[in-house]
Structure 1
Amino acid sequence: MSERLGPYELLSRLGAGGFGEVHLALDAEGRTVAVKVLHPHVAADAGALARLAREVETMRMVGGPHVAEVLDASLEGGRPYLVTRYVQGRPLSAVPVPVADLRLLAAGLADALLSMHESGVVHRDLKPANVMMTEGEPVVIDFGIASALDTLSVTASGAVVGTPGYLAPELLEGRPAGVAADVFSFGATLAFAATGRQPYGQGPPSAIAYRVVHHPPDLEGVPAWLEPLLRDCLSAEPEARPTTAQICARLGVAPVSHARQVSRSPAGTVLRPRAVPRSSAGDDLTTREWRPGKEQHRRSVEESRARHREKVRRRWLIGSGLFVSLLAAAARQPLPEVALFLLAAYALGVVADAGVALFSHSPYRRSRMIIDMVSVAGVTGLCFGLAAAFSTFTLALFAGTALVVGIVFLLSA
């Protein structure tokens, strides 16, 4: 049974990180979102939550196709949470590397960093695990959270929030860090994507951190067009690294403003995120599906459930129809009465389903009745066609195989 958290229905757990658990959820209008529920030790730190609340005001201004926008937040009560756009895909750390289209990845990450830095947000934990790959495009997640929650009461005493090998030297040494730290992480992440290796090797975190501070990165195998940029990005001194705008210029990425306009409830949560491209700043482009610039039909939770039930029913109708047609075709020669009984029983069941649909208020009522009638005719025709084309033994073998596969499928499901 699904769990509710505020206006969100939590469907399944997607994973967990250092600050919380991430759940796939539905909002009040039936759209998929990602809800990050903060860990109890984070929720117990009033100072950390206050700092995160201030950061959220800035984080929710970040928009664009390459970032998972912050849509909503509730940092009060026993289970504080953040809501972001749900990105369906796999993290860069879990896809085959070296990445095939490295230029597309580099351009997307540069655009994401530019969006964050223009809004005054520092990611502070950019790494392959925080880059989701969807349809070949990168989408950066969890931006700004590490920066907001880097307090000694949230982390272990003396610990550094982030992943060694992708953290800039100034962070490891406790020096002040800004947007240049993200540039270093950008370079390390692209180096991993280009070579399939960690740019500062593997081993204990302390050993990796030492190599980051005192040794050059391993860039062997990086394409010649990308290596000079990565060497500049991985410079030990922040001042020597290029800015995000300079990275975009060197990669040929046209700068586009993705600053978002948001309307607020009295509690300060995000209600209607809007992306405003620089080329059409006067347009009112409301993000409906949590993918910037694409409008979708708004569905309630009940409508989403009805749609899912209809999809399951159609699959069951098709699967059972195929199985009945196989059995009836196999029995047609030796046992014609059995074949007739199977077809009649199937037709009676489908007609009863159509009768239920006739008196229901489902939005799929008409299509359901049509599909029911077509399936009866289709199963009957398929039965006679199979009986004419195959022998009884072959059809019985097919039916037995289909039965075993169906049982295995049901058990696994």
Structure 2
Amino acid sequence: MSERLGPYELASRLGAGGFGAVHLALDPEGRTVAVKVLHPHVAADGGALARLAREVETMRMVGGPHVAEVLDASLTGERPYLVTRYVQGRPLSAVPVPVPDLRRLAAGLADALLAMHAAGVVHRDLKPANVMMTEGEPVVIDFGIASALDSLSVTASGAVVGTPGYLAPEVLEGRAAGMEADVFSFGATLAYAATGRQPYGQGPASAVAYRVVHHPPDLDDAPEWLAPLLRECLSTDPAARPTAAQICARLGVEPVAHVPLVSPQVAPQVAPAVRPRPANDDLGTREWRPGRERHRRSVEESRARHREKVRRRWLIGSGLFVALLAAAAREPLPEVSLFLLAAYAVGVVADAGVALFSRGLYRRSRLVADALSVAGVAGICFGLAAMFSTFTLALFAGTALVVGIVFLVSA
């Protein structure tokens, strides 16, 4: 049995960090999201939750392809949680380094840094473990949480606010820290990806922190085009570090207009919950309000919708393939052509019969799709036979068969 948390169905646990456990979940529309359930010692800290509640609305202003957007939050009850876009991939800390396509990684991280800072959000815990690699593109996760929950009571409860080696010197020394600290973390993360080594070495946290404050980073083997920028980003003087916009300019990254998907609102002293993003956001969840639950699809309805979508795709794909084969066989082997069309029609009629006696949500549309598919396959078959030669059609059919087999094996 899957567990429910608010309108979300928790499917599996993905991992845990200093502030909470992350679960793969389904939203009310059946889309995958990542739900971060705060640890009990964090949930018990009213001051930390109040600060996080004030920051969430700002965090939701951050958007772009290289950040995992905050979609929803509920900070009341026994199990407060945050919902973000689910990013499928592996963290930078778990992929082989040095990274082959370093320029692509640097550009993506710079874009993410600019998106966060343009919205006024400080990540405070940027490190390889918080950079997900998906098809070669970096996506920054967990931005703003460490900064919002940086309170004495939370820290005393056991949560580590940041990682030595990636925290800026001013953070380690307890001085005021802002966006410049993220630039330092950006430089340390990129240095790790470029050299395959921790920029300040390994060992006890206290020893690593001492090196951050008193020793230069290890940038041996860093590419010549990147090393000067890394040295500036890893300067012990915050004022000497470049801004996110300057980093983008140095790397030749075109600034993207990170337009907020929702208008900013003035959050109360303690925000009980944050509404999800509007329905026109493909990555967000649809707006849900108490009393309007009848307008939401259940998870079962969403699954039925997904099954119907998959069934229609197979119906169309198999129909096109049968029409191609039947057209290729029509002139040399008319009996085979007729047999293929008849077999497809029988299969579709059987599917329509099942739909007729079922009580599914898509029974009527399923019957219509079945009827149209039979007529469409016959029409396409005769049309192809009239337009192309038998040899051409046979070549097309063979190619389609090979592509289909490759697709099935890879899937």
Structure 1 length normalisation: TM-score?
0.71
Shift of 1:311: 9.9
CA contact 1:358–1:369 (8 Å) conserved in 2: no
- Separation of aligned partners in 1, 2:297 and 2:158: 48
Change (3 A) 1:23 1:76: same
Cα offsets for 1:18-45 (capped at 9, x unmatched): 0001111111111111111000000001
Shift of 1:72: 0.9
Change (3 A) 1:309 1:47: same
- Separation of aligned partners in 2, 1:369 and 1:358: 11
In the other structure, the counterpart of 2:65 is 65
Aligned residues between the structures: 326
2:242 corresponds to 1:248: no
SS in 2 for 1:155: helix
Cα offsets for 1:48-103 (capped at 9, x unmatched): 00010011121111111111111111111111011111111111111111111111
CA contact 2:34–2:83 (8 Å) conserved in 1: yes
2:303 to 284, 301, 305: 305
Tell me which of the two structures has the higher relative contact order, counting C-alpha pairs closer than 8 angstroms and 6 or more residues apart: 2
In structure 2, give the amino acid aligned to 1:129. A
Shift of 1:221: 1.1
- Separation of aligned partners in 1, 2:103 and 2:88: 21
CA contact 1:160–1:172 (8 Å) conserved in 2: no
- Separation of aligned partners in 2, 1:306 and 1:268: 30
2:47 corresponds to 1:38: no
- Separation of aligned partners in 2, 1:159 and 1:43: 12
- Separation of aligned partners in 2, 1:149 and 1:227: 33
Unaligned runs of at least 5 residues, structure 2? 286-295, 313-347, 375-411
Report the RMSD for the aligned CA atoms in angstroms: 3.3
Shift of 1:305: 2.2
SS in 2 for 1:37: strand
- Separation of aligned partners in 1, 2:96 and 2:278: 34
Shift of 1:233: 0.4
- Separation of aligned partners in 2, 1:12 and 1:161: 26
- Separation of aligned partners in 1, 2:213 and 2:158: 18
Shift of 1:167: 0.4
- Separation of aligned partners in 2, 1:116 and 1:273: 20
Percent pairwise identity: 82
In the other structure, the counterpart of 2:147 is 147
In structure 1, give the amino acid aligned to 2:172. L
CA contact 1:150–1:160 (8 Å) conserved in 2: no
- Separation of aligned partners in 2, 1:125 and 1:187: 13
In the other structure, the counterpart of 2:49 is 49
Change (3 A) 1:306 1:170: same
Change (3 A) 1:366 1:102: farther
CA contact 2:32–2:86 (8 Å) conserved in 1: yes
Cα offsets for 1:330-378 (capped at 9, x unmatched): xxxxxxxxxxxxxxxxxxxx999885444122538559989xx9xxxxx
In the other structure, the counterpart of 1:392 is none
Shift of 1:108: 0.7
In the other structure, the counterpart of 2:109 is 109
CA contact 1:124–1:181 (8 Å) conserved in 2: yes
- Separation of aligned partners in 1, 2:242 and 2:278: 31
In the other structure, the counterpart of 1:94 is 94
CA contact 2:19–2:159 (8 Å) conserved in 1: no
Shift of 1:313: 10
Change (3 A) 1:309 1:354: same
In the other structure, the counterpart of 1:359 is 357
In the other structure, the counterpart of 1:118 is 118
In the other structure, the counterpart of 1:343 is none
Unaligned runs of at least 5 residues, structure 1? 275-285, 292-297, 315-349, 374-413
Shift of 1:312: 11
- Separation of aligned partners in 2, 1:61 and 1:22: 22
SS in 2 for 1:247: helix
2:282 corresponds to 1:288: yes
In structure 2, give the amino acid aligned to 1:260. P
- Separation of aligned partners in 1, 2:361 and 2:259: 41
Trace 1:187-336 onto structure 2 (pairs within 5 A): 187-262=187-262, 269-273=274-278, 286-290=280-284, 301-306=299-304
Structure 2 length normalisation: TM-score?
0.71
- Separation of aligned partners in 1, 2:203 and 2:107: 30
- Separation of aligned partners in 1, 2:157 and 2:33: 34
2:27 corresponds to 1:27: yes
- Separation of aligned partners in 2, 1:176 and 1:267: 29
